[in-house]
Structure 1
C-alpha cells in the first residue's frame, strides 16, 4: 500500500486551456483527486462523463458550474456534486483565481464527451 503524502509540490502537473493548472494528487483508475487553478475569465468546454461521478470543492475563490439550463455559483468551503451523464462546464466568472479539488470516481480519463462549445478550451482529461 502506498502511504506517500501528495501535494502540488510533488504531484504530476499539467496545464490546459493555455492558462489553467492541474495537479494529480491521486491518480488511480477507481478514484482521481486533482487540484486545479483557473484564472479569471477561463472556462472549459461543455461536456459530460458517462461513468464518472464528480465532486468539485472550492478551496479559494468563487466558481460557476454551468449546466444545460442553469448556472450554480459556489465559493470557498462549498462543494458541488455532478452525477454521471450530466452536461456541465466549470467557469471562473470572478476577478480572482479559483483553486479547487475535483474528485472523480472512477477516473475521467477516456470517459469524457465534449459538446459543441467554440468559446472555451478543452480539458486534458478529454483523452
Structure 2
C-alpha cells in the first residue's frame, strides 16, 4: 500500500516555477498513469505561462484566491473550485490573495518537466 503524507513529501520546483509536493506518481508509488501533487504559490506570484502537449490537468483549490487564465479565458478562482486544463492549452495561475495559494494538481499522464513547454506568445 502506498500512503504518503503531505508533510513527509519533499518539495521541488516545476518548470513553470511553482513549488509542488508530489504525493503519488510513478516516482514514488504503484501509480503509473497519473500524478497527484499539492502546489503552493506565494502572494503576488504567478506560474510562467506554459502548456503540456500530452498531459491533461485538474487544479483543485484548497486555500487562497487566484486568477486562472487558460488561453484567452480569465476567471477568478477560490477554494472549492476545480479547473479543467486540456492538453495543449496555454495556462497560468496567479495568486491574487493575501495568503499562499494552495491547490491540488492531478496530471494524466503524470507530470514530467519534458511535457512542460514555456510560451512567449501569451495573450495579455
TM normalised by structure 1 equals: 0.80
The question of 1:99 aligning with 2:97 is answered no
Unaligned runs of 5+ in 2: 27-31
The question of 1:60 aligning with 2:63 is answered yes
CA shift for structure 1 position 114: 0.5
Q: 4+ runs of 1 displaced by more than 2 Å?
A: none
Aligned counterparts, 1:1-127, within 5 A: 3-15=1-13, 21-28=19-26, 29-109=32-112, 110-116=114-120
Q: 1: distance between equivalents of 2:69 and 2:13?
A: 21
TM normalised by structure 2 equals: 0.82
